[in-house]
Amino acid sequence: MQNKIPPIVLPKIDFNREFAFSDQDFDRVRQLIYKEAGIALNPTKKDMVYGRLVRRIRELKLASFSAYIEFLQSIAGKQEFEQFVNALTTNLTFFFREEHHFQMLGEHLKGLAGKGELSIWCAASSTGEEPYSIAIAALEALGGSPGRAPVQIVATDLDTSVLEVGRKGIYSADKIARLPAGYAQRYFDKLADGNYQAKQQLRDMISFSRLNLIDVNWSVRKQFDAIFCRNVMIYFDRDTQLSVLKKFHPLLKPHGLLFVGHSENFYFAADYFTLRGKTVYELAKVKR
């Protein structure tokens, strides 16, 4: 009996693109971003990945996606990994997104007034609109004067480019237009080019630094009165989500609140957190 020779299966390639991008290339990208950032890219995101990484390939003057991936995994490509992660992370944000969270935060902080230094961690700060919204909500709830802010805010993100935007605190007029009435005048200075910059008082309340939520060890170790981690864990698989939530648990004070995104539900972490309100969690009263 003659043995059948198995057919040769070639990688699927779209030759209409500027650079060849095979399914194998896409799978390697998915593996790398999962390992580095915990992001579980949906198999349908191939076109998005191409669009975001093709600029890096042009910039580096490489011939193909496979050459780019090989470069990433080489010693010479270590610094490029930061650009790779920055390109594939999503940074959709705006001031006072999910406004009910800031109302609840204000009430929470009022209840803690006079009980010592208050601190908040914004664990996915993106370009800074969220930590500045937190700072404004704190000032509105507790008052405060320059040099005597009522709350200190730690703002972290994986993407170094958005952290630099946050540090500067400069935003276009259309972004500032999303602020509640009167806040632009109170908390921002209009610049000569038509943009707006957060007043020094706000900027002094916030410290920006890089942190990868899937790292084994975090540089953040203090306990917080509130933690915001919104619309980032939706990109993690459940095991990664639970790992991050377990690490949040000891960093939240007994009365603290964890604010998450509108589409995030962590019922599977009931040993650590219980639902307090709409997408707001508190520490589980009794750990099973």
Domains of the chain: 23-88 (1.10.155.10), 99-283 (3.40.50.150)
pLDDT band at 213 (very low <50, low <70, confident <90, very high): very high
Mean pLDDT value of segment 143-149: 62
**Residue 257: closest CA among 109, 93, 91:** 109
Segment 29-36 shows an average pLDDT of: 89
* Mean pLDDT, the chain, integer: 88
> Which pLDDT band, with edges at 50, 70 and 90, does 8 fall under?
very low
Indicate if the pLDDT at residue 144 is higher than 70.
no
Convert the pLDDT of each residue in 275-284 to its tens digit.
998 899 999 9
Structure tokens that stand for 166 in this block: 């946050």
Distance CA 116, CA 1 (A): 84
Sequence-distant (6+) residues with CB within 8 A of 124 are 130, 156, 157, 213, 228, 229, 230, 231, 232
Tell me what the mean pLDDT of segment 85-94 comes to.
Answer: 80
Residue 222 has pLDDT above 60, yes or no: yes
Please determine, for residue 76, whether its predicted confidence score (pLDDT) is greater than 80.
no
Q: Give the per-residue pLDDT at 105.
A: 96
Higher pLDDT, 19 or 55: 55
Per DSSP, the three-state class of 139 is helix
Q: What is the reported pLDDT for 1?
A: 47
Q: Is 271 a catalytic residue?
A: no
Select which of 25, 30, 56, 157 is catalytic. 157
| Position with higher pLDDT, 153 vs 114 | 153
Task: Tell me the C-alpha to C-alpha distance, in Å, between residue 8 and each of 5, 11, 12, 25, 26.
Answer: 9, 10, 12, 18, 20
In contact, 112 and 225? CB cutoff 8 Å: yes
Strand partners, 153: 120, 206
Residue identified by tokens 């990945």 is 49
Lowest mean pLDDT among 92-96, 173-177, 269-273: 92-96
**What pLDDT, on the 0 to 100 scale, is given for residue 235?**
85
Task: Catalytic residue, from 27, 52, 167, 271: name it.
Answer: 52
Pick the range with the lowest mean pLDDT from 66-80, 176-190, 228-242.
Answer: 66-80
Residue 250 has pLDDT above 70, yes or no: yes
Task: Please report which confidence band the pLDDT of residue 55 belongs to, taking 50, 70 and 90 as the band edges.
Answer: confident
Give residue 102's pLDDT: 96
Among 23-27, 118-122, 148-152, 158-162, which range has the highest average pLDDT? 118-122
Supply the pLDDT for residue 4: 55
Is residue 157 flagged as an active site residue?
A: yes
pLDDT, greater one: 242 or 83: 242
